Amino acid sequence: MNGCFVELAIDIVGGKWKGIILYHLLDGPKRFNQLRRLIPTVTQRMLTLQLRELEEDGVISRIQYPEIPPHVEYQYTEFGKTLQPIIQHMQEWGKLYTEEYFADNQS
Amino acid sequence: MNGCFVELAIDIVGGKWKGIILYHLLDGPKRFNQLRRLIPTVTQRMLTLQLRELEEDGVISRIQYPEIPPHVEYQYTEFGKTLQPIIQHMQEWGKLYTEEYFADNQS
DNA sequence: CAGTATCCATACCGATACTG
DNA sequence: CAGTATCGGTATGGATACTG
């Protein structure tokens, strides 16, 4: 539909939190509260919801260690790893953009 | 904030329509109704709104030719062109993803 | 041709409180 | 530690009618 495939990637990566979550998973698995600390502005509720959606899309997997207290880790699936270059690409563009924005005062 | 720059790109490219619009502008300037035909599911209202936002973000420029009937064209700004590789990247990923999805029945 | 204006539904998201 | 549940506000998006 609409003659392009761009929307597929955007559906997965888009929204307010998914890109940020995926960015923080780039350097390895993370626990739930670890992600909360890395993304201070996300609420518990939204983090849960977004992680579930990423799981349903097959991008990340949830690994639950049967311990008390609970221990859960989130990490990329093999399929999800195919998205990593895009995340990194956007990260690098964002860095360049902010630098240019504040340096050249481009608006 | 949140320790990453990914969100900047997502703010610009994300949402339901912006990525698709930017994709269709890859191969040159387009007129308003031309974009409507290329994106059959977008409403006039949403196309207008999204084009305005892309304009405000400095990604595309609106060129109005003083004719009757009106003639308007949208195209990438120099700044916007720095986003093109990301759009293309997502497009290629999307193509691969759908092929794999339907071929391997990966789910 | 290229838009505005209005109305309305729902999706998204945050705050807060509670739980195995 | 890693969540759920509930409530409510705001943003997003669609349908339809109208316009310079």
CATH number at residue A80: 1.10.10.10
Q: How many domains does chain B have?
A: 1
Locate the chain A residue with the closest alpha carbon to B107. A58
User: Is the confidence at residue B3, as pLDDT, over 90?
Assistant: no
Range(s) of the domain holding residue A17: 5-106
What residues does A48 pair with on adjacent strands?
A: none
Query: A51: left (phi > 0), else alpha (psi -120 to 50), else beta?
Result: alpha
Average pLDDT of chain A is 91
pTM: 0.91
Using the CB atoms, write b or e for A84-102: b if 16+ within 10 Å. Answer: eebbebbbebbeebeeeee
Q: Do A6 and B94 touch (CB under 8 A)?
A: yes
B contact test, residue of A90, A91, A106 with most B CBs within 10 A: A90
Percent of chain A whose predicted confidence (pLDDT) is above 90: 83
pLDDT at B78: 96
Q: Do B58 and A107 touch (CB under 8 A)?
A: yes
Q: What is the pLDDT of residues B41-98, one digit of tens each?
A: 999 999 999 999 999 999 999 999 999 899 999 999 999 999 999 999 999 999 988 8
Q: How far apart are the CA of B41 and the nearest CA of chain A, in angstroms?
A: 7
Q: What angle do CA B92, B98, B100 make, to 5 degrees?
A: 100
Q: What is the pLDDT of residues A55-106, one digit of tens each?
A: 999 999 999 999 989 999 999 999 999 999 999 999 999 999 886 655 554 4
Q: Which amino acid is at A42?
A: V
pLDDT at A3: 74
Query: A62: left (phi > 0), else alpha (psi -120 to 50), else beta?
Result: beta
